[in-house]
Amino acid sequence: MNKIKTTDPYRVYISTCFLSQLFFTFIFTVNLLYHVQTVKLDPLQLVLIGTVLELSVFLFEIPTGVVSDLKSRKLSLIIGYILIGIGFLIEGVFPYFVTVLVAQIAWGIGYTFTSGSQQAWIADEIGEERASLAFIKGAKAGNLGQIIAIPLSILMGYFMINLPIIIGGLCMIGLAVYLMIFMKEENFKPLDKEGRISTLGSMKENVGNIISHSKASFIIRMLFLIALFVGFYSEGFDRLWIAHFLEVSNISSLTNEKLVVIMGGIQFIVVLISFTALHLMNRSAIHQNLRQIYVVLFVASFFIVISLIGFAFSTYTISLLIFYVIIQVTRQVMYPLEDIWLNKIIPDSSVRATFFSVKGQVDAIGQIGGGPIIGGVASSFTIKIAIIVSAILLTPVLLLYKIVLNKSRE
């Protein structure tokens, strides 16, 4: 009986969401601070490492999605978490710009193996309707993992700023071992054997299916276009926010130990509020109604645009903190809703993982295009102006969501 419980797909999915976010947060609580304070990256370098990461995602997202649809979701996830772990180990052990770039490639490729595979696997195993609820509960479990990880990361990072990155990398490899043992894959239906002549042939066939479905579905086209603009704005903000915060609040002169505590405390506030928001959303019936999802995503995007502008112009620590928290909590609420939206409109379950991968690739294209632009603005002018540009790049999604809302009335 105990074995049945531990290998139940729903439980394994929730556990994986919890553990992956626990380890990622354990790493990222100190990761950006490590880049700024230890590796001494300038604004352009900060954005460039993100661009290299997203370029890796762009090049490998569809091929790894096809592997997941052709071979095994389980195999794809195991490979992914091993590569992610190796990437962070390289980054934590060798504090140099070049090695950080190499690490981005390793864990970027690893991410593409996990992107879409986990969502597609759980939808196959427990069905689309139950999977929608699992996406929200998984996000909630992930937030719980974040709440636990941040104090641990602060404690470790206080003594050695790169220690959480090294330990987190090892734990990612451990997560792959966990999935080897407990993850089962009983309802997976690979694509037809005729499509397995070659990986390239399978890729072409799958991409052809995606293009065909996208041409036939206005909503799918809108979703991908929104993902593109989200990519445009996000890379610059994600890489530069901490440099802006340290510069404007005048706390960059503090020791690394104190900065770890402060930055970790900010992240802790974000995950606590996110956890509460996801808990309330989990108790609602929003995941059953696409139109309600569109409304929430529209309002959330509006909040992010306004908060980005507020964050850029803020000169006080408290206002910087408030706007940053609004941006991050809003994004945490949006992620599971975007997964539910895409999951509900995918017309063919056999290419579910590839659909999720394409969405990830579109986002990567946006980040590859937007990141260097924002990094260049930050280097030529100021980080403040770069963040304002980020807000401008996100603004078109408001119009796109408005179009989707109008279409949903028809």
Q: For residues 267 and 247, what is the distance between their CA atoms, to the nearest angstrom? A: 18
pLDDT of residue 258: 86
Q: What are the start-end ranges of the H helices in 94-127?
A: 97-114, 117-126
Closest CA to 142 of 293, 281, 15: 15
In this structure, what DSSP letter does residue 195 have? Answer: G
Average pLDDT of adjacent 10-residue blocks, the chain of 410 residues: 62 93 93 90 89 83 68 86 96 94 92 82 80 82 87 92 95 95 78 50 54 65 88 89 86 81 88 83 73 89 96 92 94 85 70 71 84 90 94 94 81
Q: For residues 83 and 28, what is the distance between their CA atoms, to the nearest angstrom? A: 17
Q: For residues 121 and 13, what is the distance between their CA atoms, to the nearest angstrom? A: 9
pTM for the full predicted model: 0.76
162: left (phi over 0), alpha (psi -120 to 50) or beta: alpha
pLDDT per residue as tens digits for the range 160-174: 999 999 999 999 999
Please report the domains of the chain, with CATH numbers, ordered by start residue.
2-184+198-408 (1.20.1250.20)
Tokens in use for 187?
């309802």
Closest CA to 161 of 24, 40, 38, 22: 38
Closest CA to 67 of 205, 175, 201, 199: 199
Q: For residues 108 and 148, what is the distance between their CA atoms, to the nearest angstrom? A: 25
Q: For residues 44 and 377, what is the distance between their CA atoms, to the nearest angstrom? A: 9
pLDDT of residue 86: 96
Closest CA to 47 of 308, 233, 239, 243: 239
Backbone angles phi, psi at 201, to 5 degrees: -65, -40
pLDDT per residue as tens digits for the range 184-206: 877 766 655 554 444 455 555 55
Tokens in use for 238?
């994600």
Tokens in use for 384?
């403040």
Tokens in use for 369?
């295009």
User: CA 95 from chain center: how many Å?
Assistant: 24
**Which H or E element spans position 262?**
helix 256-283
pLDDT of residue 2: 46
Helix (H, G, I), strand (E, B) or coil at 102: helix
Q: For residues 195 and 69, what is the distance between their CA atoms, to the nearest angstrom? A: 11
Tokens in use for 34?
């490590």
Which residues touch 289 (CB under 8 Å, ≥6 apart)?
none
Q: For residues 384 and 390, what is the distance between their CA atoms, to the nearest angstrom? A: 10
